[in-house]
Structure 1
Amino acid sequence: MNDPRKFKAPFIPKERIWQEADRLRAAHPAGHKLPVQVLDLAEFDLGLDIIPVAGLREQLDIESLLMGDLHSILVDKHAFMSSRLEYRLRFSVAHEIGHSILHRDIYGGLRHSTAKEWFDFISAIPDAEYGWVEWQAYEFAGRLLVPPEPLKKAFEPAVKSAQSAGYTDWQAADEAALDYIATRIAPKFGVSAEVIAKRLRAEKLWPPTGQ
């Protein structure tokens, strides 16, 4: 593909995205405990080189980038070195793993020598089309890092905690209650509360029923 303006996003059903994430997690020891050891999964199980790059976020406004060689993930060096940004880094790497699995044909057909050249190419893809590609990788990353069964188990006590704190009308207190619950679940999975909130909705656990 030489002209990014002609790019068409592949159709990948959500169910297949979930299957791919579950399959990958189950196939490697790094995925067998929580939080999922996503950096080990990338480097040791998938053979991907994680390369910290100074100023990646400042220069290109991105946290990470899968290169067209399908062997290298560039990550912002500041995020890589900062414990405060650990959750963001973990999700970024999971996101790029998603691209490497779901979009091999797209990325593997391109060769660019620098991050800037690669970024310029994908930036020229129509927003609507690339938006679908990014959503697919986001959905993969969320499912990879937040397996559904452990999420369900963590959800139940978090709901009880919210009820003890005075949240009883889930619809009236929707976002506030969801944030309260997600914040208490997030550390178990090594992701942000925002990711947990989206997974709870995606897995149809929110709002709670029969409580």
Structure 2
Amino acid sequence: MIDSVSQPPLARRGLLFILSSPSGAGKSTIARMLLEADEQICLSVSVTTRPPRPGEIDGVHYHFIDETEFHRLVDDHEMMEWAKVFGHYYGTPKAQVKQGLRDGQDFLFDIDWQGTQQLYQRAEGDVVRVFILPPSLDELHRRLRSRNTDSEEVIAGRMARAQDEISHWDGYDFVVINDNVESCFTKVQQILNSERMRRARQTGLIDYVRDLMNPSDE
């Protein structure tokens, strides 16, 4: 009986995995669950001009910078995408992402439809776009109120923006309804694992198949 020989993992190009949703629909929760469950993906840390919220750490949750520095990065073409949301700027620096993709690193993006469009325009073949929908607008409103972090005025603004966000659902590759967080998470995991197996991303396949078809005499 011949012992089976395990093959080392095939070289693979990383991907940019985008989660978008209206505020309160659950993308941040799903993103956190994905990061905890999957060591092969890391959060793309955005830069932002908004002040840190309680518990947020500079360089971990965001890179907190002022508007002057943000606009310098934009003017120097150092951003992959950027947008202004609720009066503050958010963006993704290029350098670490480009190198990571070459090294097979997957990046998770928690961004809105504007950022998604820009990222897709700049890195189409590396991007996987997932939009998370709430089961209803009433449920979305309930979730926002249950946070107990925003005033009624802010919640009203988020609800108005939510309908605009939802109108862009057809600009995504996959759409998942978050009526149950565990079920939604499982579906998002399945999408990620499937996309990793795309032939175009498995850069080590050419050498593997060549060796498979022309085995050595040893």
Shorter-normalised TM range: under 0.3
State the structure with more CA Rg. Answer: 2
More strand by share: 2
More helix by share: 1
